[in-house]
């Protein structure tokens, strides 16, 4: 498995990955084009056998002192093999900010477990954050590549 920069040529593969990973929460085509083209966004893909099997995007906000993990997904049949964790590490390393933040559905136990294992702690609950009214958990981590995390 390799982790490589993603670009607009990955649009179709990313659409498929989003649909199979997020269902009703999948980003629109415009959102996907934006994440693959906007300046400053970190976009990395996990590639195995020449195919995209995972994706992560990060949104650095250096003036705020943190960056957001905007999305992360691994194709269902490649899960539980460390690819999600590897993508998360790679994105954190490139954010180049003191803290990393993300939101996750309260029901998304597998993702919450991964984030907890990786040192994220809950800092807030956003009530009704998702389209269907489910709450979002905001999690945060001090990054070791930043002065705060040393």
Ligand X SMILES: CC(C)(COP(=O)(O)OP(=O)(O)OC[C@H]1O[C@@H](n2cnc3c(N)ncnc32)[C@H](O)[C@@H]1OP(=O)(O)O)[C@@H](O)C(=O)NCCC(=O)NCCS
Question: Which residues are at the interface with ligand X (CB under 6 A)?
Answer: 21-22, 72-74, 79-85, 104, 108, 110-111, 113-114, 117
Q: Which is nearer to ligand X, 27 or 36 (CB)?
A: 27
CB of 147 to ligand X, least distance (A): 27
DSSP 15: H
C-beta separation of 119 from 89 below 8 A? no
Token pair for 144: 């070791």
Q: Which is nearer to ligand X, 11 or 111 (CB)?
A: 111
When CB distances to ligand X are compared, the closest residue is 84
Q: Which is nearer to ligand X, 131 or 147 (CB)?
A: 131
Distance from C-alpha of 143 to C-alpha of 98, rounded to nearest angstrom: 6
CB of 89 to ligand X, least distance (A): 9
Token pair for 111: 């993702």
Q: Which is nearer to ligand X, 96 or 129 (CB)?
A: 129
Token pair for 92: 């954190």
Token pair for 56: 């992560």
CB of 12 to ligand X, least distance (A): 18
CB of 22 to ligand X, least distance (A): 6
CA angle 20, 22, 26 (to 5 degrees): 100
C-beta separation of 24 from 32 below 8 A? no
């Amino acid at each position: 498995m390799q982790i490589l920069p993603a670009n607009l040529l990955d649009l179709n593969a990313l659409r498929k990955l989003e649909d199979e990973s997020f269902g009703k929460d999948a980003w629109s085509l415009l959102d996907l084009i934006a994440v693959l083209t906007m300046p400053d966004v970190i976009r990395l893909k996990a590639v195995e056998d020449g195919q995209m099997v995972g994706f992560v995007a990060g949104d650095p906000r250096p003036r705020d002192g943190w960056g957001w993990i905007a999305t992360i997904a691994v194709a269902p049949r490649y899960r539980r093999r460390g690819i999600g964790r590897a993508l998360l590490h790679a994105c954190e390393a490139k954010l180049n900010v003191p803290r990393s933040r993300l939101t996750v559905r309260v029901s998304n136990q597998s993702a919450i477990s991964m984030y907890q294992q990786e040192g994220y702690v809950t800092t807030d609950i956003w009530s009704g954050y998702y389209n269907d009214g489910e709450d979002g958990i905001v999690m945060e981590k001090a990054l070791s590549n930043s002065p705060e995390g040393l």
